[in-house]
Structure 1
Amino acid sequence: MRTAGRALAVIPSLSGTVAGLEQLTADLRVAGFEPLVVVTGSTLDRALTGTDIPHVSPRANPGFGAAVSVGAAHLDWEWLAIVNDDVEFDAQHLHEHLAPVLAGSGQARVLHYLDPVSPKRIPTVRATLGEVSLLGPVLARLSRRSRRAGGEPDPRHQFRPFSFALVSRGLWDELAGFDDRMPYTFEDADFGHRAALAGASIVFSEGTSVRHDRSSTSGRYLAEVLPVAAWSASGYLQTLGMAPRRARRLCAAALVLRLVIIPFSGSPNRRHLIGSWRGARSLWLGRQPALPAYDSI
């Protein structure tokens, strides 16, 4: 294992573009990181061959958290940035923002959320099942009341998505990285929750210049992705103390309810229906579904 210096930036990418990754890796270098793309789709893997973009591939599509773990194990580092392949930022501005942090000891227990979006609530059992069933989002959309929380974010109850997050080596090792029961979705909420319970220093950074538009990749593969997301939800429920079988059965029931809600959800399409049915069946039978295969993308 060779060293990445003080700071490694891991970029999981299923179907990014060469031009986009060239720009992102160049910007990350200016910001103070050694970038490493973890490629989980064969088309991109072939496209990156012969380029100067640093990349590795497990030749599989194991999910976001597992891809990050592949990159984190590939090089030695003190600070780990977890970066979506479609984020944008002012590289020099981010360098100035992070320089004091990266100069500190990586053995500290630190988590920085660098995408300055509104914090989300760490999901409870009820909220998790509401998300799987679509009942939660539908009720939130129908409600006219503002639920914006005032004041400083509370890391015991709130988190930000890991579109761009910075983790110290000390915290990553203490928490043993991501929980592999959540291959797709909920891994960031779970990591943030465990970091808070461990008493880590958690910073909701503002003014970082980071921007991230919602990815459309999951929508293109909804029939395959939705079952894995629901399986991850059942894994997350297990971290809250629920027995595995009960967690899977409740998430299966939530997907059956989702089938009823889909026509009124604003996205009533065939892939959505197929994904919900496949997910319910996988959960009920206890058979873990797979994301779209590396060779198919």
Structure 2
Amino acid sequence: MKLAKKVRTAVFPVAGLGTRFLPATKAMPKEMLPVVDKPLIQYAVDEARQAGIEHFVFVTGRNKGVIEDHFDKQVELEITLHQRNKHDMLKMLDEGLPRPGQTSFTRQQEPLGLGHAVWCARDIVGNEPFALLLPDMLMRAEPGVLSQMMQSYNQNGGNVIAVEEIDPEEVSSYGIVGRGDGPDEGFDITQMVEKPAKEDAPSNLIISGRYILQPEIFELISTQAKGAGGEIQITDAMVALMNSQKFTGVKYKGQSFDCGSKIGFLTANVAFALDRPDIAEGFQRELLALDIAELKGPIKDA
């Protein structure tokens, strides 16, 4: 059996304007919005690093320079922390940084869709398989979702997509896959449909913002027409790639939060705060003290 080529590179599309979070995102990228005390983009990078990724490619836009700064050393801060004997903080900051030479940044000059953002990374990725992580989708899983996908990729090769179940009534809002043979950890994907009507959906399994893709996707993106919303859609290119390559679905163990929405973002903050041993007890106590009857019930039951 031919071994799958190692996935060393991850692409992070971070060029979006984040208009749903204005005015907070007027001067700050939405990917830098914090969940508890860590920005969204850091969670995605940490997930990729856990999965063995060695090269982190950020597809940025205007006013996104702070993302590049975040993944760089801040000498003045480190000197101050050292002088104040804040060694735990220094260690934490160091552990969050990719090593020198592991990051690349490229621009998406126009907002032409996710497919176009991925295509903008083509020359950096080269002729190699790569992971694609959408930072808006924050994953709560151990091991991380991309690590779970890597296990399937190492067995099956080809292309891998993370999926999760949703209420069948909501399928018209998502990209949906058809499920073929195989276990939850790696089953054949038989089709992909973007935002189908309930009666036309092949399943209730949605594409969840984590992908492992082969480099042939770049050529397909470069020649495809604009799709839904007048944008170049990654799903359209994947459907075309299915004609010649295998696609595997991984129904991952974990929970996702759509932090592109205000409700998803706020829910993620609550969930991740309650996961933190250093603040969970105090945070839950403050939540229960709020004079909101609807909130008190579910928190007490948790």
TM-score, normalisation: structure 1: 0.48
Whichever structure has more strand as a proportion of its residues is 2
TM-score, length-normalised on structure 2? 0.48
Identify, as 1 or 2, the structure richer in helix. Answer: 1
Structure number with greater Rg is 2
